[in-house]
Structure 1
Amino acid sequence: MNIQGMKLPVIVYHKIILLYLLIIPLLCIPVSSSSILSDSYCEEIGTYNNNSTYQNNLNKVLSNLTNKSSVTGFGTYKAGVGSNTVYGLYNCRGDLDSPMCHECVQEASKLIITECPSKMEAIIWYHECTLRYANRSISSHFEDSPIATEYSEVYPDPNLAELLRDTMNGLIKKAAYDNSTKGYAEGKGILTKYVDTLHCLVQCTPDILGSQCEKCLRSAMTTMPKDLTFYMIFSPSCNVFYRIGYFAAGTTNNDSAVPPTPFIKGTNNAYLFFLLRQQIVLGVQQFKS
């Protein structure tokens, strides 16, 4: 059939324009990584000079940790002697594969220098990994401060708190004392009032398994609100997370198409990309109708 000269209905033109307007903003967003930044913290214990021995050792540490992250989800490294010694550590979320872990640590090792220029100790948290360095030993003992948090709106179900406590208690025991988990455990429960799924996740760094891991996770639990749709708390040694409905895990399926919007510190291009993608899907559906 010859379509030259055919005139499309006005409604079709409108739908094409709608799709165009939805797609163009997406093309203008520099989404260079799927890793989602949460926060960073710069310790005020001292600074180093450019081109100093400490800076050179820090660069060695960050480079080594980045390389390690391509093969394992947790790593430590030390460079230097005396007052110029730099200790480094990273830990990736337990459900991530090696490429996703490496991507997060690689990005974190670059951004931590920008976020905390010339600082002798710093930590940066992503949803996918934690990276830190210091001029003191930071492995094999737990630290529950400083912290970073993310959260969203209140969830209207009085049964949430009890289900959350029961689910978290089981996961904390599993993460802390089941060595096969390497400090990571996730689980879920059902909220019957609105037939929603509660997803929970806890994780310690693998160097503090046992009572230290449990202590760190329970410390996080004591400060955690138990009536929200989404909550996440990061500390240097452990993380605790829960979300109702949607769970953006590295290797698990999502239960719903669109997550609730959390309050998120830092940049979140990947999340913005997701939201815009949903708008394009809606536009396509409109076009087909």
Structure 2
Amino acid sequence: MPIPLHVSSSILLLLFSSSLQLVIADSSLTFVYHFYIEERGTYTSNSIFADNLNQVLSNLTSEAQLSGFNKTSIGFITDQVNGLYMCRGDVAADTCQFCIITASMKIQALCPNQKEVVIWYNLCMLRYSDRSFFSTAETYPSAHWYSNQNVSNMVQFDQLVKSSLESLANKTAFDPLTKMYVSNETNSGSFDLYSLLQCTQDLSPSGCYLCLKNAISGIQINGGTGRTWVMEVLPSCILQYSVALFYNTAPPPPPPQPISVVLSPPPLQSPSPVHSPVRALPSPSSTAPATNSTNHAAALFLAVGLLFYCLRRKRKDGLKPNDVSRNAPTKKNASKDEGNVK
């Protein structure tokens, strides 16, 4: 006798959530920020745009097991969806894929039916839109975080930060061997400075440099000078530095065997009508991703398999894959200043 759908789905989603938490805990995956462009409008759940979006997200999550960056477009004119993801250059392939899967589900829960959104985790970013944004250096919206702690000699430290980041921005953008990702340790005698800069690989060298220069400028504008760690996130690039090591120094392990992913969002609880709270990230010393690729891959395989099975059962029983509540309250456009954590 078949198990009722609502029972089996709940159990599978619970198991999926447990596997998700396992990988998140192991890889120090941390939600950072999200944003949507209200002016781009919304789509309906049963529209061609919704189908194209599901396919874009499915393609991107599948590609994330093979590459740390990719982009794709599906559809034509008003129904076209353009999507892009970027994983931090020091993370393993299975961690990258799980970060993108998590971001895909999270952003559709936070911004249901919005046509243009961007979401950042500490290890990846994901964005999609009905307009083409590929190969364009976009610096808005942006968000910034910094530590509550200051260094002892702020003037000397800020000089070290400025000279180091400007040099690394040039290397990230114009050295083809970097693939637009650079992590670096600088020792000045008084300070150890660990820096990470990265651009989406669809940018030109000049576009990457422009984005990183905006990120560097944002440190001073947004009150990050003299802080022991700072993060700036923009749609086309990210920048982070700290006095403690926060990234992997060893090269990421090779990608695992491909896993077929078909991703559609399960029914999700309506988001809260208030803004997402601005939160400080954990200290960089605790956010370096783990390198236990075997554990990651096993949990990833289980979670994706359970999600895939659950969604197939839903389609078989006539449920819509995009059946998110249409009465969910609309989140207003978040302002850039919400990124401050003081």
TM-score (normalizing by structure 1): 0.75
User: What's the CA shift for 1:43?
Assistant: 1.1
Match of residue 106 from structure 1: 101
2:180 corresponds to 1:183? yes
Match of residue 133 from structure 1: 128
**What is the distance in 1 between the residues matched to 2:196 and 2:123?**
12
**What is the distance in 1 between the residues matched to 2:157 and 2:204?**
28
Secondary structure in 2 aligned to 1:218? Answer: helix
User: What's the CA shift for 1:266?
Assistant: 5.4
Match of residue 150 from structure 2: 154
Match of residue 168 from structure 1: 165
Normalized per residue, the structure richer in strand is: 1
Letter paired with 1:162: Q
Change (3 A) 1:266 1:105: farther
**C-alpha contact 2:218 2:232 (8 A) present in aligned 1:** no
Letter paired with 1:248: F
**C-alpha contact 1:220 1:233 (8 A) present in aligned 2:** yes
**C-alpha contact 2:196 2:240 (8 A) present in aligned 1:** yes
Once the two structures are superposed, what CA deviation does each residue of 1:183-217 show, in whole Å capped at 9, x if it has no partner? 11111222433xx4110111111111311111110
User: What's the CA shift for 1:81?
Assistant: 1.1
Match of residue 25 from structure 1: none
User: Moved runs in structure 1, 4+ residues, more than 2 A?
Assistant: 190-193, 250-253, 264-268
Letter paired with 2:70: G
**What is the distance in 1 between the residues matched to 2:124 and 2:32?**
10
**C-alpha contact 1:179 1:209 (8 A) present in aligned 2:** no
Match of residue 86 from structure 1: 81
**C-alpha contact 1:151 1:230 (8 A) present in aligned 2:** yes
Change (3 A) 1:187 1:230: same
2:214 corresponds to 1:219? yes
Letter paired with 2:150: V
**What is the distance in 1 between the residues matched to 2:49 and 2:127?**
15
**What is the distance in 2 between the residues matched to 1:38 and 1:31?**
19
By relative contact order (CA 8 Å, sep 6+), the higher-ranking structure is 2
Please, which moves more after superposition, 49-58 or 150-159? 150-159
Match of residue 265 from structure 2: none
> Where do 1:243-262 residues align within 5 Å?
243-245=242-244, 247-252=245-250
> Where do 1:1-289 residues align within 5 Å?
33=24, 34=27, 35-44=29-38, 45-152=40-147, 153-157=149-153, 158-193=155-190, 196-224=191-219, 225-245=224-244, 247-252=245-250, 265=278
**C-alpha contact 1:97 1:250 (8 A) present in aligned 2:** no
Greater radius of gyration (CA): 1
Once the two structures are superposed, what CA deviation does each residue of 1:57-76 show, in whole Å capped at 9, x if it has no partner? 11100010000000001000
**What is the distance in 2 between the residues matched to 1:209 and 1:187?**
22
**What is the distance in 2 between the residues matched to 1:93 and 1:151?**
19
Secondary structure in 2 aligned to 1:118? Answer: coil
**C-alpha contact 1:37 1:265 (8 A) present in aligned 2:** no
**C-alpha contact 2:145 2:280 (8 A) present in aligned 1:** no
**What is the distance in 2 between the residues matched to 1:226 and 1:107?**
32
**C-alpha contact 1:37 1:267 (8 A) present in aligned 2:** no
Letter paired with 1:141: T
Identity over the aligned pairs, expressed in percent?
Answer: 33
Letter paired with 2:32: S
| RMSD of Structure 2 on Structure 1 (CA) | 2.4
TM-score (normalizing by structure 2): 0.64
